[in-house]
Every structure is written in structure tokens, then in C-alpha cells.
Chain A
Amino acid sequence: MATPVLDKADAAGQPEPGFADSPYITVTFRVRRFNPEVSADAVWEDFQLEIDPKERVLDGLHKIKWDVDGTLTFRRSCAHGICGSDAMRINGKNRLACKTLIKDINPEKPITVEPIKGLTVLKDLVVDMEPFFQAYRDVMPFLITKDTNEPTRERLQSAEDRERFDDTTKCILCAACTSSCPVFWNDGQYFGPAAIVNAHRFIFDSRDEAGEQRLEILNDRDGVWRCRTTFNCTDACPRGIEVTKAIQEVKRALITRRF
């Protein structure tokens, strides 16, 4: 495939106001392309861009899509790390494109961008998220209470009890963790870290009364015991959730039945 090179005078080369004082640099984006409507094979394609190093990888992808090649396809929405749309493998690590600044990933060398692993690639950087969400749904990710009479006011919860599961409430379901997990790559049946994180969120919520049921689900052969504690998930999480720790806590709860 041809490698389009951007002319400096092109619109994409114009400094964004706000970054006018910082020098533009030339970077190469090396993007994994795949479109079964065109070819059965995935290929690498290089794009050279003039970009401010303080911009996001997502800005770079937009420059390509908007000014060079409109067929480049990826998901995105919020552009500031809150919606979980744009997890991808950037220089071999799972990150959100909108939360990764060019300057932080060594722009001297080509920046490689490819889809997250372990989920079927549908087009370019877009993968099939259904298996991921299915695993999430399988852990019953909703508050379950047994009281027959709903309280009229709110249920009480101490600040400490609230703090107990705070970390795992931050999850944005981006799949960066699950798709960085070697166990998940090798065996798509494994629930994967994100589903366990979301089970944790309820197991350790003092208001919830279905912890036992969730633990049984995760006690399954495709459950928590498959975790090999490689910490890839914790490194990958853009929300800074201690994913491995959450999985360990679920394992411990399974052994002690205390949570």
C-alpha cells in the first residue's frame, strides 16, 4: 500500500492554536490495517504526520482519518479517557489513544498502533466487543438485595464500607486489562480481569447480598483460578485500578468465604 506523506502546508500540518509556541515534530504512525471488504490479510501502513508532541495519539489518528485516509476506522467518543471506546495496542502496550500523549511514547521511532488482542478484529482498530460484554453480564453486575420491603430513604453505608470497593467502581469497561491478559489470549473462555473487577465491585459492597452467588460463578474452571498474576492487567488499566489486587481479594474471599 502506498504511504501517504503529508505536505507541511496541508491543513493537518497547521499548528493547533494553543500549541503555537511548541515545535511541531514529524512522527510516523505505523497502523495495523484490516478490512475484509478489501483483503483477507492485515497489513501495516505508515503515515507521516506533523504533530505537536503534547497532542494525543487519538489526535494523530484523527489527522490521518480527516486529512489523509478517511477509511481508517477506530472507535472513540469522549476523547479524555472516560468512555472506554479507544483501547488499542500502542507500541505494544494496551492504552487509551485519547489518554496517551505523543511525547510520552518516544516519537523518535515509528509509533505502532494495532487493535487489542484476543477479540476478533472487524476492521482496522475495531474489534468485536460482544464476548467481553458477555463475560461482564455473566457475573451479575448489579446490586442484589433480599429485603422484601424497600427502605423509604437511602440504605445507610459507612464511609469505610463505601471505600472498600471504591477502586473497582472506576471501571469504564474499556477491555484494556482483559485484552492484555495472556490467559485470555490463549483461552477465550476465561472471564478475564474486567469481569472479575466488576464482580468485586458488588461482592465487597456492604449493601449487596449475592456475594456468595457471584463467588460461585467465579469459582468455575474459567473463573478466577485461571489468573496467573502476571500484572499485565494492572499495568494496562487506564483508570489506575489495582486489577490484580482485586482478583487476589476475590480469590481470598473464595477461600475464607469472608468479604
Chain B
Amino acid sequence: MKIHKYDTVIVGAGGAGMRAAIESTKRSRTAVLTKLYPTRSHTGAAQGGMAAALANVEEDNWEWHTFDTVKGGDYLVDQDAAEILAKEAIDAVLDLEKMGLPFNRTPNGTIDQRRFGGHSRNHGEAPVRRSCYAADRTGHMILQTLYQNCVKEGVEFFNEFYVLDQLITEEDGVRKSSGVVAYELATGEIHIFQAKAVIYASGGTGKFFKVTSNAHTLTGDGQAAVYRRGLPLEDMEFFQFHPTGIWRMGILLTEGARGEGGILRNKDGERFMEKYAPVMKDLASRDVVSRSIYTEIREGRGCGPEGDHVYLDLTHLPPEQLDAKLPDITEFARTYLGIEPYTDPIPIQPTAHYAMGGIPTNVEGEVLSDNTTVVPGLYAAGEVACVSVHGANRLGTNSLLDINVFGRRAGIAAAEYAHTVDFVELPENPAEFVVSQIERLRTSTGNERVATLRRELQETMDANVMVFRTEQTIKTAVEKIAELRERYKNVSIQDKGKRFNTDLLEAIELGNLLDLAEVMAVSALARKESRGGHYREDYPNRDDVNFMRHTMAYREVGDDGAESIRLDYKPVVQTRYQPMERKY
């Protein structure tokens, strides 16, 4: 076991982690621990763009952007945070450009912008061109540019280090972050990182669904680590299902495809979004479009022999436009479906995409231990966190923005905090939890297999807590997850070695997914209304009287060791915008 000491430790090297690292490395001694090589992070998969009211191609301003964000989130957005997001968006994009990001350009050489779902002119009048982009590779360019600047700044990375536990020490009656425990993939060695400040930037948790745009490695490790230590998770019932995933594979086809003019059609060739969203049509917000697609499918207007998908039609767009603006996604259709998008429509279905919920933070990225109290030394940013700028439904292009704005804020805040404090003493026997977890999995002779449990989990999540939910389906999921958690105790692995033991880590990741799936389902069961990404067929309307509030889920352990989830609620911060009915 090795012990390291850093002012600031960042968990994760996606967009949020590296944006934080660029700031905190300048200000404090920083280590970035990442389970993947930085450039492998899933930020690189983002396609469509990053929102900012630059007004390069038409009139726009940050206030309209704030409004769209609040409305898009079905008014569950904390409006003070959304305002910061929209205001700082402009500098966030310009900063990236100065760091070298190769944005697409307008004829006069400024950053080009395009339309994206839910982004509008003057409070919903018409779609506006707000998304700054680099073809359909915006995330790739952000990830590369941030990594390049980390190389420039000499950021210290610990690659293929898996953070498996958060360390908390009580000092004068206050629970403070004292560091993290990490597992080195190459050697199996355990490392303790004592740190004055820890920033979680470990990304999403989409792998508990089967049809998903998320990478195999998005298993919610950060959320699970803090949750296990008794800290709350906010709004976990809100998960975004992106309308256009490749049929049955889930690989994403960016909303930019519709921004460029692509149209959704049912088996009769009908442009069905005109019925559901007369103004924004195919560019209505994602929850609306995903539900519309499933409504078409359920009412028998789906495509294919089983009527289980619809089409994304790009055939009316000039091939040169597809080549210039959507080169990657057209290639995905060719590679994985054998379809030529110039001439044939692409079969799509909604795909599990983005966790709106996560570790609650304030606008400085400080993690909360209840509705208001900050955990000293603990920060989070990016998809792992819930500020909440996305509320019940994130607008497209607002996450690449979120990771840059709040990654930067968390990096600065953590490093500055580190200057003002001493190290917090590590708890006694800091590696205890991780050591025993690994020991148990390595020596278990149980008869359950990780892959089987994971498949069953993914199937129950897809069937029961996806686009449409009811009390019945959610209860089915809750029961199934409880069964799987029980069976997980009997999981055994085949690889008993120390070197690159990915068999062991997949088992640990599954444990995290199971914990988080349970929080999601239990939070969803209690929310007896429909809002944004959370749609209850038994409660189809938004209920602002009872549910205009954030869910806060806490893990409780009884004296007998029995675990349970306690739900509490947190008020929504409303400043300028009163809730209105959401129409597109």
C-alpha cells in the first residue's frame, strides 16, 4: 500500500476533470486519478455541440439561454445556477478556442453555430443557432484540446487508477473529506491519496441500461463512493433518453442531425413530430421527442417487421452537407447498420443517455451533505454532479457547457480552499473497505456471475424505468434490483490475479450500478408526477404543488446492518421564471 499527499486530487479525466485540472494545477499541487487514459473518456463521444449565446450568426443573449435551460428542465432547474451557466458559456467557448479548439467557422472566420433541440429565440419563438460545434465531433475536440492543455501545463495523471472509496474524517463534529482510496489496474496495488480537496469528475452511470449511448465504463463509481459514505444523491430519478440511438445498439446519432434538417418519420413516412410539437417539431426537447417516438411505436406506426423503431431521415439533405457537418454519424450508420444515409433512412430508437441527477453541489462545486451544509474539502463537477442546471431534463449542448463552466469553477474553488487549510487526518485503517471488498471478490466461491446479473439488471431497467414508467413497473424494478443485490453477495470472479484484473473491476462496477439503480428506482417511485425525463403514465401531469422540489436520497444503515434508502426533499431555487406549461 502506498500513501500519497496532494493538495488537490481530481477523480476523472473527462472534460470536467481536465478543465478542473488546468485550473487547479496552476494553483495547487494536483493529481488526477483516472480509470481510463484521459483521451479515452466518454466526453470524446459527444457529437453535436456546446451551447453559448455568442450571437455570431443571429441575435441571441444569455438570458434567452437561461430561460431555455429552465424551461427545458421542466422548471426543476435551480435558476441561479442556470444563469451562471448561460452567462459563463460565452467565455467557456472562447477559452476553448484560445486553447486551440478547432471549431467550425462562419464565412467571416468567427465560430459557427447551429440549431439544437430546445434552444430558442426570445423565450420559445423559434429555434436559434446557439450550438458551437466542430462537425459532429465536438466532444472529441474538447477532450483532445483539454488533454493537450493538460500536457502543456504539466498536469500529473495517474492513469488506470480506479478510485474505489471516499475517505471522510470527523473533526470537531464536522465530517470532512480527507482523501480517496484507489486501485492501480496494472499492479493490483492499493493507493491512499490524502488530499486537502477532492473533486469528483467521474462521469455518468448509463450502463445500468441496456440500450444506451454510454460507454462500458460509465458505471457511476463516484456517485456510489460518496453515497456509501452517507452523503446524498440528488434527483436520481431523472435520466435522459435521447431520441435517436441506433436501433437496438444505442449508439448515438446526434440531435445535430435534426439541427441540420433531419426529420423523424414513422412507417407511413409521416413527419410525426408536427403533431406533438407544432413549433419546434423535430427539435422539441428530448423527453418530448422520445415519448412521441414511443407513442408512435405503441400505436402501431413503428417501422420494421416488429414495428419497434422509427426512421431518422437525412436523405433530402445534400451529401456534401452530410459529409461536412455529420461525417461521423453517417459513418456509424454505414459501419454498424450497412445503411447509406444519402439514400436510406436510419432506423433509430430512444437510448439511455444522460444522468441529470448526481452528487449535489452548490455553484462553486462544493458537495452538500444535506440541503445546505457543505462537506469541507469535497467537490464535484460534470455529469457526476447535480448543481442543478439540468433539472428534470437536460438540453442538448448544455452538458459540454456544464463540464467546462463547473469543471473550471470546481478546479479554482478546490485549489483555493486547499491553500487555506491543513491536511485532514486520515481515518484509522483507511483502506479497510477496499481491501475487504477486493478480498471478498477474489476469494468468493459463490455461483453467481457478474455478466448474468448485469444483463438482468439492464433488462429490468430498460423494461421498467425507461421512457414510460408506472407504479407497477417501478415496483417490479425495485424488487428485481433487491433480488440482484442479494445475489450479488454470491458473485465470484475467475481472474484471481493482481495484474490488469478487469474481471475484478467489472464486479466492483456492477456493485456500483446496483446501488445506483436502486436509488433511481426508489426515487422514481416516490415522485408521483411527470416532469421532464421522468414520465409516469399513472400521473401524467406535472404537479408543482407537491413535487416542485429536488429529491435527496440517503443511504441508511440500521443497527442490524440492514441498508435502506431515506428520501428527503430540497427546494428549487427560482429567481426570474415562474413555472409555466411546457409547450414546444
Which A residues fall within an 8 A CB radius of B?
11, 16-19, 21, 35-38, 54, 65-67, 69-71, 73-85, 99, 101, 122-124, 126, 129, 133, 137, 141-143, 150-159, 162, 165-166, 169-173, 202, 205, 207-208
Chain A residues with CB under 8 Å of B148's CB are 141-143
Inter-chain contacts of B501 with A (CB < 8 A): 73
A77 in contact with B111 (CB, 8 Å): no
Cβ of A83 and Cβ of B97 under 8 Å apart? Answer: no
Contacts of A84 in B (CB 8 A): 39-40
Q: How far is the CA of A101 from the CA of B93 in the complex (A)?
A: 37
Assess whether A166 is in contact with B497, with CB atoms less than 8 Å apart.
no
B109 touches A78 (CB 8 A): no
* A183 vs B105: C-alpha distance when bound (angstroms): 38
Most buried by A among B44, B99, B102, B497: B102
- Report yes or no: A11 in contact with B451, Cβ–Cβ below 8 A: yes
Contact A11–B39 (Cβ < 8 Å): no
CB contacts (< 8 Å) of A18 on chain B: these are 247-249
Whether A80 lies near B251 (C-beta < 8 A) is yes
Given contacts A71-B497, A99-B335, A141-B151, contact A82 B140 (CB under 8 A): yes
18 more contacts with CB within 8 A, not counting A80-B336, A123-B500, A154-B103, are: A66-B449, A70-B495, A70-B503, A71-B494, A79-B215, A79-B216, A80-B332, A83-B36, A83-B44, A122-B500, A133-B37, A137-B151, A142-B151, A143-B98, A153-B94, A158-B105, A159-B105, A172-B39
Task: Give A79 to B336 CA distance when docked, in angstroms.
Answer: 11
* Interface of A, helix, strand, loop or mixed by DSSP: loop
Contact, CB under 8 Å: B94 / A169: no
A67 to B, closest residue via Cβ: B451
**Contact A129-B107, Cβ < 8 Å, known A73-B500, A154-B98:** no
A117 → chain B, closest Cβ, in Å? 19
Residues of B within 8 Å of A142, CB to CB, are 99-100, 148-149, 151-152
| A84 to B144 Cα, complex, angstroms | 12
Q: Is B455 an interface residue (CB 8 A)?
A: yes
Which 6 residue pairs across A and B have the least CB separation, nearest first?
A143-B100, A18-B248, A66-B451, A70-B494, A156-B109, A70-B503
A162 & B102 in contact (Cβ 8 Å cutoff): yes
Asked if B536 is at the interface (CB within 8 A of a chain A CB), the reply is no
Residues from chain A with a CB closer than 8 A to the CB of B248 are: 16-19
- Given the interface pairs A71-B503, A154-B97, the reply to whether A83 lies near B41 with Cβ below 8 Å is yes
Q: Which residues of B contact A159 (CB under 8 A)?
A: 104-107, 109
Residue B385 CB within 8 A of the other chain: no
Q: Are B499 and A122 in contact (CB under 8 A)?
A: yes
* B interface residue numbers (CB < 8 A to A): 36-37, 39-42, 44-45, 93-94, 97-100, 102-111, 134, 137, 140-141, 144, 148-149, 151-152, 186, 215-217, 247-249, 251, 305, 328, 332, 335-336, 338, 449-452, 455, 493-495, 497-503
Complex: A75 Cα to B134 Cα, angstroms: 27
Which chain B positions have C-beta within 8 A of A67? 449, 451
Residue pair B105, A11 in contact (C-beta under 8 Å): no
Which residue of the partner chain B has the closest CB to A82?
B45
Q: Which residues of A contact B251 (CB under 8 A)?
A: 79-80
Docked pose: A17 CA to B525 CA in angstroms: 28
Bound together, the chains give a CA A126 to CA B185 distance in angstroms of 11
Kindly list chain B residues whose C-beta atoms are within 8 Å of the C-beta of A70: 450, 493-495, 503
The residue of chain B having its C-beta at the shortest distance from the C-beta of A123 within the complex is B500
A241 to B215, CA, bound (A): 24
Q: Is there an interface contact between A77 and B216, defined as CB atoms closer than 8 Å? A: yes
Q: Select the residue from A16, A79, A129, A205 with max chain B CB neighbours within 10 A.
A: A79
B40 A35 Cβ-Cβ under 8 A: no
Q: How far is the CA of A74 from the CA of B216 in the complex (A)?
A: 13
Name the A residues within 8 Å of B332 (CB-CB): 80-81
Nearest chain-B residue to A206 (Cβ)? Answer: B109
Within the complex, which residue of A65, A79, A150, A202 is in contact with B98, where a contact is CB–CB below 8 Å?
A150
- If the complex has contacts A82-B45, A162-B105, are A169 and B151 also in contact, measured as CB distance less than 8 A? no
* Min C-beta distance of A131 to chain B, whole Å: 14
Residue ID in chain B nearest A83 by CB atoms: B40
Cβ-closest chain B residue relative to A156:
B109
CA–CA, A208 and B42, complex, Å: 27
Q: Return the chain B residue nearest A133 by Cβ.
A: B37
Q: How far is the CB of A120 from chain B (nearest CB, A)?
A: 12
A35's partner among B42, B455, B499 (CB-CB below 8 A) is B499
- Enumerate chain B residues within 8 angstroms of A75, measured Cβ to Cβ: 40
Contact partner of A71 (CB less than 8 A), chosen from B100, B216, B495, is: B495
Q: Is the CB of A37 within 8 A of B499?
A: yes
How far is B305's CA from A87's CA once the two chains are assembled, in angstroms? 36
Please name all residues of chain B whose beta carbon is closer than 8 Å to the beta carbon of A137 when the two chains form the complex: 151
Give the residues in chain A near B338, CB-CB below 8 Å: 54
Q: How far, in whole Å, are A157 and B106 apart by their CA atoms in the complex?
A: 9
Q: Which residue of B lies closest to A104 (CB)?
A: B335
CA distance A157 to B249 in the complex (A): 38
Residues of B contacting A205 in the complex (Cβ-Cβ under 8 angstroms): 100, 102
Q: A37-B498, A129-B37 are in contact. Are A101 and B335 (CB under 8 A)?
A: yes
Residues of A within 8 A of B44 (CB): 78, 82-83, 172
For the complex formed, measure the closest distance between the CB of B328 and the CB atoms of chain A, giving whole angstroms: 8
Contact check, B39 vs A169: say whether CB atoms are below 8 A apart: no
- Report B133 CB to chain A, min CB distance, Å: 12
CA distance A214 to B44 in the complex (A): 26
B276 to chain A, nearest CB (A): 26
Task: State A77–B506 Cα separation when bound (angstroms).
Answer: 12
B105 and A78 within 8 A (CB): no
Q: Which residue of B lies closest to A160 (CB)?
A: B105
Identity of the chain B residue whose Cβ is nearest the Cβ of A152 in the assembled complex: B94
Rounded to whole Å, the gap between the CB of A62 and the closest CB of chain B is 8
Which of A80, A126, A141, A157 is within 8 Å of B500, CB to CB?
A126
* Cβ contacts under 8 Å, A38 to chain B: 497
On chain B, the residues within 8 Å of A207 by CB distance are 100
**Chain B contacts of A35 at CB under 8 A?**
497, 499
Q: Chain B contacts of A16 at CB under 8 A?
A: 248
